[in-house]
Amino acid sequence: MIGLAVAFLAAAAPNAVVVRPVLNLYSKPSEDAAVVSQAIYGSNVAVLERHEGWARVRMADDYRGWTVLAALRAGPRYAAAEPAATVCSLFANIYREPDVTARAPMLTVPFETRLEFAGEAGAPARWHQVRLADGRPGWVQAGDVTVHSAPLSTTEMLALSRRFLGLPYTWGGTSSFGYDCSGFVQMLERRRGVMMPRDAQPQAGWNGLEPVNRADLEPGDLLYFGASPQRITHTGMFLGDGQFISATTYQTPAVRIDRLDDPHWSRLLVAMRRVK
């Protein structure tokens, strides 16, 4: 009964909306603490507790961390209804008016950001009018967003993964401003409708995945690296032909393609998984 009561209280936690392009979540209420994850603009988070200008929040994937209250707007859920404009470019500028030359962008938001429509009446071609999370109106170019996004096939997901090549590795990163390894893999799976845990070790043990042998690897399978299956520290996605893509600090800190037969990776490969 105690567990049910705790779950009910967490579910009833007040909603807040992220109003910064990318917001760090920390292990403790301090910017000197470790970054554990990030939330992108417009994300709805549950506020679990507050402490001296900080809030402990729960993300949609149940991940939790501390962030500054000033980066949140308390109130109803944002962009929760369809249709919404979802950023499909790596980044999207939002302007005060439908003109890229008149003024600097109001803000730049990352891939996957959801924006509320503010009405299409009289909107110029190539533009959508949106309502920002703080209530301000804005304009985004139609080519930067998609209105009706369907889950991707595995082939489409693999093609998408290559669009991020060269983006910087960022510890705790969950956006196109910079991903870490598990944040990158989690995003790719999310684009095909699979909601998996945030970190590499819980991902490898998640019941939505099943083990696969190295000889049976197929494009889209997930790879986990570390000192042992109980000490996983990295993950990536198999592309086929002995190659995989990941956000890594190895050699160059970026999203890059490597080979499984590289001795560095071959000795660290400890688990292979496939979505059930």
**79 in a structural domain:** no
Q: Report yes or no: 237 and 245 within 8 Å, Cβ to Cβ.
A: yes
Under the phi-then-psi rule, with left for phi > 0, alpha for psi from -120 to 50, and beta for the rest, what region is 242?
left
- 124 prior amide bond cis, ω within 30: no
The pTM of this model reads 0.93
Quick check: helix, strand or coil at residue 69?
helix
Residue 26's CATH number? 2.30.30.40
Q: Is 210 helix (H, G, I), strand (E, B) or coil?
A: strand
pLDDT at 121: 58
- 58 and 19, same domain (yes or no): yes
**Residue 107 and residue 194 in one domain:** no
Q: pLDDT per residue over 8-65, tens digit each?
A: 444 578 999 999 999 999 999 999 999 999 999 999 999 999 999 999 999 999 999 9
Q: How far apart are CA 30 and CA 174, in angstroms?
A: 20
Q: Is residue 176 part of a domain?
A: yes
pLDDT digits (tens, 9 = 90+) for 76-135: 999 999 899 999 999 999 999 999 999 999 999 999 999 999 976 566 789 999 999 999
**Domain membership flag for residue 36:** yes
